[in-house]
Structure 1
């Protein structure tokens, strides 16, 4: 592993824990522990099942892309590779896609470059859906969000001090490392990114079984929403939230997961807490729900990823 990659991952992990620190700093931990102890964990098990179902539909959708390239693929290796990819993301952010393609290649011999092309297409589609759902969520929750942001006018300026300190540190770091930062060709990277998106959209027209592909995509996102919504019933404070609230919190949580922190530690918790605050719930309730959802999915990722690693390792030995 490159030292640069290690330090980049370490910096993001530290950033995640800094967010966690500020989230928990002014909380009544005893009250939160009592809430977590009294939660109904049966709903979290169901959430894990929904999360794994998303893997299944993602594997089925990936098979369509692979078959479109005239390569044969089996469901098992596709599912296990996806599980391992998500496990890798817990350790090294954004490494999951490469790990997923590499493991699948070792078992099926489908070229890694072709598989990465599939992943780019999947990213484009999922990012597009996330944006559409974000706009939809902001539309249906416009009043609640407006009230939430209007309340910032009454907040004590002293509460902004930690944020200002973090921004100041970030500015200092940018100034210190400005020469190294300027060496990177950001315009070229942006151009390549936009080119990948364009290529991804063009590839959609060549997909076999478009209707089935669209169905799997819808089912993937429904599973994401259900795995979030079912956790609402684990504590009384959020049991009255509905399906549209589930969409809203799923999307905001998804934005938190975009930040390349291992497993969304801190960033996901902050995003979900802000979403709950905007819906009129307390900060303690927001953090508690974020912990429950994140824990359920983390356990599922670790469990399924570990099993898949063992299974594919045996398949590699046989092949």
Structure 2
């Protein structure tokens, strides 16, 4: 019963996110002429789009390298090829079901390199938290550089298009009170020995080893073997994201005159669109980017066209390289060239002398 209930919940989640994506796409394209869109897309400088895709692929490679840096202090050193294939598979999985890619890439690395899923997933969560911090920092930079235009954008989106979804102040007060109350209740529970109570529960006893590995993965950023390489690779990832976006902006005649700071703003706005709980950011990306470009005098038709070019080209790249990654992954034997921990992170011993690690494998 529980299994069928979970399956039904996943199906409903998929249907709802897909319906939201289709509704947003319909809303964006409802007043557009496809013939007009194709004529505008025909004006694109395609060599710049190809350069944009190459830069995008480089960002995926650097992300795989950075993932290895997070795994190193935990004793795992998978080949860069394995982590690169894992990252590509994660992106194509996200096109099917939002956030599925994070689990899929960890499962692949577990099968091919012996990195436990819980440990890998903990490092992926750490990655995503870092990405969130980076996008928030970039948002602050964009607000500082393009304050007037950003303010106009929010006025347009929230005060005009968002009138129907405004909430009275007491609703926000209830939400704040609930969050504070939940935090206080958790604090009181653990202060009163709640952890000891949890440890007596059979379910917690089964989940605790997984939770510990998950927390270990998140904490890996605190004990990096190569911190400089980690932060440089983080910078390069976002630099490549920016170049990927700005090259596509330059490729379209109606947006080729926009400044470098506008390119950064489009990266941030598009990033929030890609983070929306819909497959591959479909609809949300187009909606946000097209409406944001309106503030800079770019016609809605041109904004929709350039958003479609940027999103579609990157989606095609993900499908092509992700499919190749899946095929190559099938050719790699299970745990072939497995990354065996060089040491037990807690005991400082080699795997050969660590029965717990041998049993885990």
Normalised-by-shorter TM-score class: 0.7 to 0.9
Q: Which residue of 1 aligns with 2:9?
A: 4
- 1:253 aligned residue: 270
Are 1:206 and 2:206 matched, yes or no?
no
CA contact (8 A) 1:124 1:200 kept: no
Contact 1:144–1:279 at 8 Å: present in 2 too?
A: yes
**Deviations 1:58-98 (Å, cap 9, x if unpaired)?**
01101111111111211100000000000000001100000
Structure 2 residue aligned with 1:126, among 124, 131, 142?
131
**Alpha-carbon distance, 1:302 to partner:** 0.4
In structure 1, distance between residues paired with 2:24 and 2:283: 5
Unpaired runs of at least 5, structure 2: 1-5, 167-180, 187-210, 337-361
Q: Report the RMSD for the aligned CA atoms in angstroms.
A: 2.8
Q: Which residue of 1 aligns with 2:315?
A: 298
Aligned residues: 290
Residue matched to 1:177: none
* Aligned counterpart, 2:120: 115
* 1:40-189 alignment runs, 5 A limit: 40-148=45-153, 164=164
**Offset at residue 247 of structure 1 (A):** 1.1
Q: Which moved more, 1:273-282 or 1:208-217?
A: 273-282
CA positional deviation for 1:245: 1.4
**What SS does the corresponding residue of 2:332 show, helix, strand or coil?**
helix
Partner in structure 1 of residue 22 of structure 2: 17
- Tell me which residue corresponds to 2:305: 288
Match of 1:217 in 2: 234
What's the TM-score once normalised by structure 1's chain length?
A: 0.83
In the alignment, what sits opposite 1:229? Answer: 246
Structure 2 partner of 1:178? none
Task: Specify whether residues 146 and 293 from structure 1 end up closer, same or farther in structure 2 by C-alpha distance, changes over 3 A only.
Answer: same
Query: Which residue number corresponds to residue 179 of structure 1?
Result: none
* Structure exhibiting the larger radius of gyration computed from Cα positions: 2
Aligned 8 A contact 1:73 1:108 in 2: yes
Distance 1:98 1:43, change over 3 A: same
Please say if residues 145 and 279 of structure 1, whose CA atoms lie closer than 8 Å, have aligned partners that are also in contact.
no
CA 1:119–1:239 in 2, change beyond 3 Å: closer, same or farther? same
Q: CA deviation at 1:317?
A: 5.5
Instruction: Compute the displacement of 1:259 (Å).
Output: 1.0
**Structure 2 Cα separation of the partners of residues 23 and 92 of structure 1:** 22
After superposition, give the CA deviation of every residue in 1:160-218 in whole Å (9 maximum; x if it has no partner): 69x84xx69xxxxxxxxxxxxxxxxx959xx8xxx999988854321111110000000
Assess, with a 3 A threshold, how the Cα gap between structure 1 residues 201 and 311 changes in structure 2: closer, same or farther. Answer: closer
* Partner deviation per Cα, 1:288-312 (whole Å, 9 max, x = no partner): 1100100111011001100111111
Q: Distance in 2 between matches of 1:124 and 1:234?
A: 32
User: TM-score by structure 2 length?
Assistant: 0.74
2:177 is aligned to none
Higher helix fraction (1 or 2)? 1
Partner of 2:290: 273
Mapped contact 2:86–2:108 kept (Cα < 8 A): yes
SS at match of 1:72: coil
Q: Distance in 1 between matches of 2:114 and 2:219?
A: 25
